Amino acid sequence: MLELSLSWLGLGPVAASPWLLLLLVAASWILARVLAWIYAFYDNCCRLRCFPQPPKRSWFWGHLGLAKWQRLALEGSTRLDMFEHFSLMTLDSLQKCVFSFDSDCQEKPSEYIAAILELSALVTKRIEQIFLHADFLYYLTPDGQRFYRACRLVHDFTDAVIQKRRHTLISQGSQEFLKTKTKAKTLDFIDVLLLAKDEDGKGLSDEDIRAEADTFMFEGHDTTASGLSWIMYNLAKHPEYQERCRQEVQKLLRNREPKEIEWDDLAQLPFLTMCIKESLRLHPPVAVISRRCTQDVVLPDGRVIPKGNICVISIFGIHHNPSVWPDPEVFNPFRFDPEASQKRSPLAFIPFSAGPRNCIGQTFAMNEMKVALALTLLRFRVLLDEEEPRRKPELILRAEGGLWLRVEPLNTGQ
């Protein structure tokens, strides 16, 4: 599994060596944490509030695809597979935030986006074919060849952006580069990585930057698309909560034209946030994670998990533990009102995992889901389709045959 993820980052058969793997995992971990630190530092300085830029038309609305929904509804297709639409939307907005690139992939085919989708599908398929885990065998198969070609395409795209940007950075100098970008609010993830330095003033290599950017694209699209799809389903199933969320958004934006969400609005949607969290509890996009114990772990009943063992941790199981979550199958957003949350262990709800290797994109994901949900509910009513979706746990939690819902445009004059 680890090897598979790493081969996505472009590591060929050489990655089969356990020492190299270990080194790479450590290097990528350190990088991710350095980035988290840089993010926190810049955020404190209020600089990185422009990464991603405040969720305004410039980067998000245009990438939300709701105009497409309006058009499809006018043409009479109100039955939509949420996974398909939200995957394109999350890829579109990630490509904008990471590379400042407008792919318009929700409206027209994009080679790059098709390659990312193909890689995700191939990784899922390969995990189930244990005899193809060895790279040298995999690359002999047609799927392996497709994987190789898609990887190449994705890497070439990322490399081209990095080289062009590094060239600008060198010709402008870092101070001027940062000043121009923050002023124009166009600082993206590639810029942040290019400007990052360790304590000795050493920056990241192009390969490091490519690995981080590609990881973001890979980790950030399916997960958020799954989160959003299941939120829509839960709100379609509970129209009373859907209406309450809608009213909260309408009240927040009542005197505003155009109706866009500003950065500070994200903290002003308490009920909508409670619904998102309850949906992430009931349908966690990442249902299972694994960890290798670096020391003996003593359980409360005295039993010991010996050092070196790999433990599979079920986020889904933790979120459905009836001693923590009474009636665990019931969608009840009030479980997340601030008072109730305070009484629970922080480890009772871990959709983004916990500890030093938790999700580095969780704030990004929460913000994206809030904006997408708020703007969707403002313009559409979401209704259940005839068939109940069946959960399909793969690398992320999907629905068998897609998650189909019906959408009805509201008469908002939007």
Q: CA 83 to CA 258: how far, in whole Å?
A: 28
Helix axes 66-74, 362-379, angle to 10 degrees: 30
Closest distance between ligand HEM and the C-beta of residue 134, in Å? 22
Does position 95 interact with ligand HEM (CB under 6 A)? The reply is no
| Residue stretches of the annotated binding site | 359
Does position 52 interact with ligand HEM (CB under 6 A)? The reply is no
Q: CA 7 to CA 218: how far, in whole Å?
A: 12
Closest distance between ligand HEM and the C-beta of residue 302, in Å? 27
Helix (H) or strand (E) segment spanning residue 371 = helix 362-379
Binding residue for ligand HEM, selected from 331, 349, 352, 380, defined by CB under 6 A: 352
Does position 220 interact with ligand HEM (CB under 6 A)? The reply is yes
Does position 48 interact with ligand HEM (CB under 6 A)? The reply is no
Residue nearest to ligand HEM (CB): 361
Binding residue for ligand HEM, selected from 206, 219, 348, 394, defined by CB under 6 A: 219
**381-385-387 Cα angle (round to 5):** 160
Q: Residue 253 or residue 318: which is nearer to ligand HEM going by CB?
A: 318
Closest CA to 368 of 86, 103, 46: 86
Binding residue for ligand HEM, selected from 351, 373, 379, 407, defined by CB under 6 A: 351
Give the pair of three-digit tokens for residue 369: 């889901």
Does position 361 interact with ligand HEM (CB under 6 A)? The reply is yes
Chain positions 266 to 295 lying near ligand HEM, rule: CB under 6 A, are 285-286, 289
Order of all β-strands in the sheet with 404-409: 79-81, 404-409, 380-384
Q: Residue 95 or residue 242: which is nearer to ligand HEM going by CB?
A: 95
Residue at token pair 């630190």: 37
Chain positions 179 to 218 lying near ligand HEM, rule: CB under 6 A, are 215-216
Give the pair of three-digit tokens for residue 19: 């020492």
Task: Identify the three-state secondary structure at position 305.
Answer: strand
Give the pair of three-digit tokens for residue 107: 């409206």
- Cis peptide before 18, with omega less than 30 degrees from 0? no
Q: Count residues contacting ligand HEM (CB under 6 A)?
A: 21
Alpha helix (H) residue ranges in 185-285: 189-195, 206-237, 239-252, 270-282
Four-point Cα dihedral 251, 252, 256, 260, nearest 10: -130
Closest distance between ligand HEM and the C-beta of residue 18, in Å? 18
| Residue stretches of the annotated binding site for heme | 359
Binding mask 26-45 for ligand HEM (x = CB under 6 A): ---x--x-------------
CB 384 within 8 A of CB 405: yes
Does position 365 interact with ligand HEM (CB under 6 A)? The reply is yes
Q: Residue 50 or residue 253: which is nearer to ligand HEM going by CB?
A: 50
Q: CA 238 to CA 241: how far, in whole Å?
A: 6
Closest distance between ligand HEM and the C-beta of residue 254, in Å? 29
Does position 230 interact with ligand HEM (CB under 6 A)? The reply is no
Binding mask 306-345 for ligand HEM (x = CB under 6 A): ----------------------------------------
Q: Residue 66 or residue 231: which is nearer to ligand HEM going by CB?
A: 231
Q: CA 106 to CA 90: how far, in whole Å?
A: 10
Alpha helix (H) residue ranges in 238-314: 239-252, 270-282
Q: Residue 169 or residue 350: which is nearer to ligand HEM going by CB?
A: 350
Q: Residue 333 or residue 351: which is nearer to ligand HEM going by CB?
A: 351
**Where does this chain bind ligand HEM (CB under 6 A)?**
29, 32, 215-216, 219-220, 223-224, 227, 285-286, 289, 351-353, 357, 359-361, 364-365
